[in-house]
């Protein structure tokens, strides 16, 4: 019987993230490797969802919007007359860079054009949405010193 995922185990997994309509938002078929219980941050509680699982197991769980991309903030949505918008931004999906008074630059996207009005939105496209994460456990084994050194600066597995 293969090892179960617990603290100190080397884990290799693939995953996909879908919205509640089944649209695939992110799919990672190249295994993500980490040492369970270490410093690597896994999205939406993935580490808790796979705890105790073994190689070959498949786990599916929901990540509510507040743990994913946050709730939709209506203060980040602006509508204006299309004539006030430069022609290069007059299409759905156009990216508009805007700068705050503090000098921070944020991307907004054109999300709607209707009745001579154009709407841009600074929320992440998945803000306010529940995500469905499916994880396939590829490998579970004792972590080696080489694993610890290789994975030390590996970063994090994140949704964005």
Task: Indicate yes or no: pTM above 0.85.
Answer: no
Q: Identify whether 105 is part of a domain.
A: yes
pLDDT of residue 55: 96
Alpha carbon distance 76, 106 (integer Å)? 10
CA atoms within 13 A on the CB side of 19: 9
State the DSSP code for 3.
Answer: P
Alpha carbon distance 123, 131 (integer Å)? 16
What percent of the chain is predicted at pLDDT more than 70? 94
pLDDT of residue 132: 94
The answer to whether the beta carbons of residues 130 and 71 sit under 8 Å apart is no
The answer to whether the beta carbons of residues 122 and 76 sit under 8 Å apart is yes
Q: Which domain CATH number covers 16?
A: 3.10.50.40
Alpha carbon distance 58, 14 (integer Å)? 10
**Local confidence band at 46 (pLDDT 50, 70, 90 cut-offs):** confident
- Tell me which residue range forms the domain holding 88: 74-121
Q: Identify whether 40 is part of a domain.
A: yes
Structure token digits, residue 56: 């070959």
Terminal-residue alpha carbon distance, the chain: 36
pLDDT at 160 over 50: no
pLDDT at 39 over 90: no
> Are 62 and 93 in a shared domain?
no
Alpha carbon distance 41, 158 (integer Å)? 8
Give me the number of domains the chain comprises.
2
Q: Identify whether 157 is part of a domain.
A: no
Q: Identify whether 158 is part of a domain.
A: no
């Amino acid at each position: 019987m293969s090892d179960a995922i617990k603290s100190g185990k080397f884990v290799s997994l693939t995953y996909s993230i879908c919205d509640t309509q089944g649209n695939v938002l992110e799919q990672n078929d190249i295994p993500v490797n980490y040492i369970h219980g270490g410093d690597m941050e896994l999205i939406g509680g993935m580490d808790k969802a796979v705890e105790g699982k073994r190689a070959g197991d498949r786990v599916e769980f929901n990540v509510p919007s507040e743990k994913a991309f946050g709730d939709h903030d209506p203060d980040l949505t602006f509508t204006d007359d299309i004539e006030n918008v430069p022609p290069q931004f007059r299409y759905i999906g156009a990216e508009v860079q805007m700068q705050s008074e503090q000098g921070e630059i944020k991307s907004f996207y054109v999300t709607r054009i209707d009745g001579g009005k154009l709407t841009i939105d600074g929320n992440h496209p998945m803000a306010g949405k529940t995500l469905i994460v499916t994880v396939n456990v590829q490998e579970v084994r004792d972590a080696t010193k080489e694993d610890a050194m290789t994975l030390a600066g590996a970063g994090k597995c994140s949704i964005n």
